[in-house]
Amino acid sequence: MTPPLLELAGIRKSYPGVLALNGVNLSVFPGEVVGLVGENGAGKSTLMKVLGGVLEPDAGVIRTDGVERLALSVQEAMAAGIAFVHQELNLFENLDVAANVFIGREVLAGGFLKLVDTRALRRRVQPLLDRLGCDFGPDAMVESLSLAQRQLVEIVKALSLQARLVIMDEPTSSLTIAETERLLHVIASLKADGVGVIFISHRLGEVERCADRVVVLRDGSVAGELGRAQVGHAAMIRLMIGRELKGNYTPPAR
């Protein structure tokens, strides 16, 4: 059996008076889309910060490619092929797509002058744009792109880092229906290429459509896990709130 790209075992994180994560277990395999859902305050953001090397857990282990660590640094997370597409996009509108993708990692030319080799950057970015079916080029200015196109630029940045696991945090929150459809197709493309995806969203219909498996957090713990055949709106809600959601309506007395 193919080993997982990532395994979290017994991850615990607390703050004064708050147990943010309580023994969380999570795994992601190559070419798998894992939906991560839960109400606000369930622990999703804290868990993602642990994954990205921003927070160090109090207990538990993190395994990447079979290597076991007590924590990841930001550099180790990147080296392990973990990349994030955040809800708040981190792009420079006054630069073109290629410059944004390789910001801080520019290809330099001109000897001691250390000039940015714009042509080389654009050559490197074009195949990544083609891979995602983007309808804009590496020379397009970010300020001219739609929100959905900017989301794609963030994904291209992740792929340029040789990402094997892409974490998407509420990626459709500001997208139109058509743009959301396109993003879901991109996720399917990443999956087909063997890239693992963690898809975090409050839009359970989208999770139901794209996830191979769903992990539900409640009060810092894993409330349950749903396989592909079990994934459904009612099942996710039940695990999120700990009870069946009743739809009964009692009309007011007359």
CATH code assigned at 212: 3.40.50.300
Q: What is the pTM of this model?
A: 0.85
Q: Does residue 202 lie in a domain region?
A: yes
pLDDT band at residue 246 under the 50/70/90 scheme = low
Cβ(6)–Cβ(27) below 8 Å: yes
**Through-space distance between the first and last CA atoms of the chain, rounded to whole angstroms:** 64
pLDDT in the model for residue 171: 84
Question: Which pair of structure tokens corresponds to residue 134?
Answer: 């983007």
* Sequence-ordered alpha helix ranges (H) in 42-194: 44-51, 74-79, 97-101, 118-131, 147-160, 177-192
> Averaged over 169-184, what is the pLDDT?
84
- Structural domains counted in the chain: 1
In this predicted structure, the answer to whether residue 64 has a pLDDT above a threshold of 50 is yes
**213-218 β-sheet, strand order:** 82-85, 165-169, 196-200, 33-37, 213-218, 221-227
Nearest to 127 by CA among 98, 106, 104: 98
Q: Does residue 92 lie in a domain region?
A: no
DSSP reduced 3-state for 127: helix
Q: Does residue 232 lie in a domain region?
A: yes
In this predicted structure, the answer to whether residue 245 has a pLDDT above a threshold of 60 is no
Angstrom distance (rounded) from CA 113 to CA 33: 45
pLDDT in the model for residue 248: 46
In this predicted structure, the answer to whether residue 244 has a pLDDT above a threshold of 90 is no
pLDDT in the model for residue 225: 95
Domain with 203 in it: 6-81+164-241
Question: Which pair of structure tokens corresponds to residue 33?
Answer: 């889309």
In this predicted structure, the answer to whether residue 129 has a pLDDT above a threshold of 60 is yes
pLDDT in the model for residue 114: 67
> Averaged over 192-221, what is the pLDDT?
94
pLDDT in the model for residue 209: 94
Cβ(183)–Cβ(151) below 8 Å: yes
Q: Does residue 188 lie in a domain region?
A: yes
Angstrom distance (rounded) from CA 25 to CA 9: 5
Residue-wise over 33-67: b if at least 16 C-beta within 10 A, else e?
A: bbbbbbeeebbbebbbbbbbbebebeebebbbeee
Range with the poorest average pLDDT among 38-52, 106-120, 195-209, 224-238: 106-120
pLDDT in the model for residue 134: 87
**C-beta atoms surrounding 161 within 10 Å:** 16
In this predicted structure, the answer to whether residue 100 has a pLDDT above a threshold of 80 is yes
In this predicted structure, the answer to whether residue 59 has a pLDDT above a threshold of 90 is yes
pLDDT in the model for residue 111: 59
Cβ(87)–Cβ(128) below 8 Å: no
Angstrom distance (rounded) from CA 71 to CA 74: 10
Q: Does residue 123 lie in a domain region?
A: no
pLDDT: which is higher, 149 or 66? 149
Question: Which pair of structure tokens corresponds to residue 17?
Answer: 């008076």
Question: Which pair of structure tokens corresponds to residue 172?
Answer: 């459709």
Average confidence score pLDDT of the chain: 87
Q: Does residue 56 lie in a domain region?
A: yes
153-173: per-residue pLDDT in tens? 988 888 888 889 999 988 888
Range with the poorest average pLDDT among 66-75, 102-111, 211-220: 102-111
> Averaged over 35-60, what is the pLDDT?
92
How do strand 196-200 and strand 6-15 relate by DSSP bridges?
unpaired
pLDDT band at residue 116 under the 50/70/90 scheme = confident
Q: Does residue 212 lie in a domain region?
A: yes
Q: Does residue 101 lie in a domain region?
A: no
